[in-house]
Structure 1
């Protein structure tokens, strides 16, 4: 097997309209045309990959905790500038946890979508520029 790339991540959400507001309006991810499935959802472009949202209130992958716990399952998005991303997320009123000196080697920012799915935004720590 020869891997080319990660194509998409699929997440269950409680309310697709609420999720679309978070990912499309707040985060500004470009929405993609989605096939006419017989269930609600939305697709977004995230760099070279895609995010597929599926409304499914009975999904076994939904988190019911309403706190940000970086040890729970999540997907990560590489960003260009750590502090610009912090400022952007805070300007949208999104609760975050910052871990600029994580043992992982990544400067990490964690947040949750309205269905409590965890998202990590990161840069390589060697690319972390001190906030002026």
Structure 2
């Protein structure tokens, strides 16, 4: 793994549902037995370590929350957008025609921004926000 981030989550069940059920991530088998309940996800070169903290306060605007950038395959984008629409998860979708990539930004249940990026070949592009 090139990068790792540790996210404190208030409700592990909601976290699992979001990352596995909606985003389609699979738990890492490399997570050792720890005294703190949680889950690791290996997504591209990013390891996301979610640890349970029931006392975690709701995200404050002035708090710094990490933005997590993850590269995904271009063929996965369509299915992901369908899932986000189906589960009524708000997201922003942008196409950067200069860098030839599509970026989908979504917030997890604890307010962390996840940016899923996919390279594409098409010269055509549109920028728009959906659900915002």
Residues 127 and 75 of structure 1: CA distance in aligned 2, closer, same or farther (over 3 Å): farther
Superposition CA RMSD, Å? 3.1
Match of 2:121 in 1: 127
Match of 2:33 in 1: 36
User: How many residues in Structure 1 have an aligned counterpart in Structure 2?
Assistant: 119
The yes-or-no answer on 1:113 pairing with 2:108 is: yes
The yes-or-no answer on 1:10 pairing with 2:6 is: yes
Structure 2: state its 5+ residue gaps: 126-132
TM-score using structure 2 length: 0.69
Secondary structure of residue in 2 paired with 1:32: coil
Match of 2:130 in 1: none
- Equivalent in 53, 57, 62 of residue 56 of structure 1: 53
Structure 1: state its 5+ residue gaps: 66-71
How far apart are the structure 2 equivalents of 1:117 and 1:39? 20
How far apart are the structure 1 equivalents of 2:114 and 2:26? 17
Residues 114 and 128 of structure 1: CA distance in aligned 2, closer, same or farther (over 3 Å): farther
How far apart are the structure 2 equivalents of 1:46 and 1:111? 15
Match of 1:69 in 2: none
Shift of 1:39: 1.5
Shift of 1:109: 1.0
The yes-or-no answer on 1:98 pairing with 2:93 is: yes
Secondary structure of residue in 2 paired with 1:100: strand
Shift of 1:7: 4.3
Shift of 1:112: 0.7
How far apart are the structure 2 equivalents of 1:128 and 1:9? 32
